[in-house]
Amino acid sequence: MAGAGGGGCPAGGNDFQWCFSQVKGAIDEDVAEADIISTVEFNYSGDLLATGDKGGRVVIFQREQENKSRPHSRGEYNVYSTFQSHEPEFDYLKSLEIEEKINKIRWLPQQNAAHFLLSTNDKTIKLWKISERDKRAEGYNLKDEDGRLRDPFRVTALRVPILKPMDLMVEASPRRIFANAHTYHINSISVNSDHETYLSADDLRINLWHLEITDRSFNIVDIKPANMEELTEVITAAEFHPHQCNVLVYSSSKGTVRLCDMRSSALCDRHSKFFEEPEDPSSRSFFSEIISSISDVKFSHSGRYMMTRDYLSVKVWDLNMESRPVETHQVHEYLRSKLCSLYENDCIFDKFECCWNGSDSAIMTGSYNNFFRMFDRNARRDVTLEASRENSKPRASLKPRKVCTGGKRKKDEISVDSLDFNKKILHTAWHPLENIIAVAATNNLYIFQDKIN
Amino acid sequence: MSQKQDEENPAEETGEEKQDTQEKEGILPERAEEAKLKAKYPSLGQKPGGSDFLMKRLQKGVSIISYLLLLESKGILGMKSIEQKYFDSGDYNMAKAKMKNKQLPSTGPDKNLVTGDHIPTPQDLPQRKSSLVTSKLAG
């Protein structure tokens, strides 16, 4: 597999030259559980970048506009707003703690000056409105400037309050709370292309919501068997088609993807399409099913393809062909001979996400040791890069990394046994229009930009 | 674009076995790993994808009262982050105290002094958990 990331300009291929741009978060080795980033998402324009963490907090970064006096800060992301989205709860009926960890954030397309996003933990989805306030009214008649009510008898003259500029204040307020619709843990939310509805998926069910209505949701997929002993697979991810508001897909722990059309019936238990790659029965092992479990499914921006991430690979599927993927990219095949220890330390259950670039010509996913992988679909090249503080000089180019599996380790290579499995990159995001990527490495958020930018 | 795992097996096989190995290249590492696992945990179930496995994943808890038993079973089953189920909140709080070994949040004396015309704001209320502190990403 070709490993080079730079060098030579192939006709029509992306020649990315990724450079360090920014890193956010604390440097100290002792990572508080609450600071672990659990989701990263750009909004539709790419001007806003949202992160959610295990402590239930959301931090939104905004891209700086071009500024002639500070040319280097062009394109930098700085904190725009931060708020506590979810808090820990206790389910008294089941005696279970409900974690405040933000599982997913999804932006709504912008319709007015305010920004809206959906954030969810295991049980509750919330619609947040983020709005700016840069004016303040002064000169009220009935109250003083500090808010104290004036004695009405002392008011001798009337004046018209004037709007005066004030320091920009960004306010986040919860506008809707969609609760009590999931028995099991929510793993996905997806906004529909109709901009009115969205889906939420847990291990066994998918519900359809209207953004305005919080006391009702429709169940559209239910794979819970009548007898729980017959349970063989769970839903791992779900997403709406980017253009066809009646189409959704959901992936399973058995490595299959089902496409459902909401026009065919109200309850989409029967799929319209079933995507599964046939497995060679002679190669089956104890681990086969576990590593085939799909941890993420994402439609391409074009809506023609979708991508699935299982433990060792990323597959691109053509929606018109159910029998097998059109592309398979190995993420870290060298881990196949480490599956025993990865099962013991639970790493085999890690849920990696994947993402497309804006033009669908490249895909990205994370790995261990703070490595992440990028695949250029057109040029058929891939590269391994690392998010590390050691390589964090402004605009420093990222050097491709290589993992060696055999005995002879070349200089600059790292052997499989030296990989740090605690440093996992599960969440990455690609700017919808430009070559800017956000990579979450435990409690730090790295932003890289293409040099040509 | 399937990957051929040329690097998986060091060149230890003889000439005759080489062709055989090349056919099974994709299988050998996984099977070897499976054998390792079964050697360590002979009682491991045959069907890892079976209903028991998934049920535990769904419930994320077992109806055993002792937290110590739960830790033992985690070692054998290899399940990730099982949360304990408790039957009363007293047990729950006891276990939590043992687990995290932290004191119950204590509010300073001034925070308890709420006088008549002082309206408490969210900043005045006692901090329940450290996660109510601002994220370091925003720092």
Q: What is the DSSP string of A294-337?
A: --EEEE-TTSSEEEEE-SSEEEEEETT--SS-SEEEES-GGGGG
**Pairing mode of beta strands A402-404, A162-178:** unpaired
Least confident of A259-263, A316-320, A326-330, B85-89: B85-89
Give the minimum alpha-carbon distance from A346 to chain B in angstroms, rounded to a whole number. Answer: 6
Q: Which helix (H) or strand (E) holds B74?
A: helix B67-77
Which residues does B81 contact at the CB level (< 8 Å), separation at least 6?
A: B60
Reduced to 3 states (helix: H, G, I; strand: E, B; else coil), residue A71 is helix
Please write the tens of the pLDDT for every residue from A342-399.
998 989 999 999 999 999 999 999 999 999 999 999 999 999 999 999 888 888 899 9
What pTM does this model have?
0.79
For residues A274 and A271, give the distance between their C-alpha atoms in angstroms, rounded to a whole number: 7
Out of B79, B88, B129, whose CB is closest to A88? B129
Q: pLDDT at position A42, please?
A: 98
Please write the tens of the pLDDT for every residue from A26-79.
987 788 999 999 999 999 999 999 999 999 999 999 999 876 666 555 689 999
Query: Nearest-CA neighbor of B32 among B49, B50, B16, B10?
Result: B10
CB-based contact B54 A234, cutoff 8 Å:
yes
CB-based contact A285 B34, cutoff 8 Å:
yes
Give the minimum alpha-carbon distance from A196 to chain B in angstroms, rounded to a whole number. Answer: 30
For residues A399 and A19, give the distance between their C-alpha atoms in angstroms, rounded to a whole number: 9
User: Best interface-test mutation with B: which of A228, A231, A422 has the largest number of B CBs within 10 A?
Assistant: A231
Q: Within 10 Å of residue A93's Cβ, how many Cβ atoms?
A: 6
Please write the tens of the pLDDT for every residue from A303-330.
999 999 999 999 999 999 999 999 999 9
From chain B, pick out residues whose CB is under 8 angstroms from the CB of A230.
51
Please indicate if any CB of chain A lies within 8 Å of the CB of B130. yes
Q: pLDDT at position B70, please?
A: 39
Name the residue type at position A446.
Y
For residues A273 and A327, give the distance between their C-alpha atoms in angstroms, rounded to a whole number: 19
Buried b (16+ CB within 10 A) or exposed e, B95-125: bbeeeeeeeeeeeeeeeeeeeeeeeeeeeee
Out of B8, B10, B83, whose CB is closest to A97? B83
Please indicate if any CB of chain A lies within 8 Å of the CB of B5. yes
**Inter-residue contact A186 to A121 (CB < 8 Å):** yes
Give the minimum alpha-carbon distance from A324 to chain B in angstroms, rounded to a whole number. Answer: 12
Backbone phi, psi, residue A438, to 5°: -115, 130
For residues B21 and B16, give the distance between their C-alpha atoms in angstroms, rounded to a whole number: 9
For residues A373 and B96, give the distance between their C-alpha atoms in angstroms, rounded to a whole number: 40
From chain A, pick out residues whose CB is under 8 angstroms from the CB of B138.
59, 79, 82
Query: Nearest-CA neighbor of A297 among A340, A337, A249, A260?
Result: A249
**Pairing mode of beta strands A125-138, A115-120:** antiparallel
For residues B30 and A260, give the distance between their C-alpha atoms in angstroms, rounded to a whole number: 34
Cα nearest neighbour of B86 on chain A: A95
